[in-house]
Structure 1
Amino acid sequence: MKKSLFFIAILFSIIATAQYEIVYNLEKGKSYPQNQVVTSEQQQVINGMPQEITTIITTETDYLVTDVKDGIYYIDIIIKKMSNETKTPMGTETITSDGPESNAMNTIFKNMIKEPIKITMNKHGEILSFDNSAQLEGLTNGVEMPQMQLLQVEAALKKEMSAEKQTANYQQLSAILPKEKVAVGDSWFQSITVNSIAAFEATSNFELESVNDNSYIISSTAIVKSPDNASTNLNGMKANYSLSGPSSGTYTIDKETGWITSASIRQELDGDIVIEKSDMMPQEMKMTMKTQTTTVIE
Structure 2
Amino acid sequence: MAKPQTLEAIREREAPNTLEDVDLSEKGRSATGEVISSNRRLFMQFMAFGDCSDTRRLITALQAERVQGVLYEDVNDPRGVGLVTFSETPDYFVDELRRFFNRPPFSRLTPKPEYTMLGRTYSIGYEPDLDETLIRRPLRRLCDPKLPWVIWYPLRRSGSFEQLSPQEQNVILMEHGGIGRAFGRAGLGYDIRLACQGLDKNDNDFVVALLGPELYPLSMIVQRMRKTKQTSLHLAHLGPFFVGRVAWQCELPAFAQAPAATP
Which interval holds the TM-score relative to the shorter structure?
Answer: under 0.3
Larger Rg: 1 or 2?
1
TM-score by length of 1: 0.23
Please state which structure has a larger fraction of its residues in helix. 2
Please state which structure has a larger fraction of its residues in strand. 1
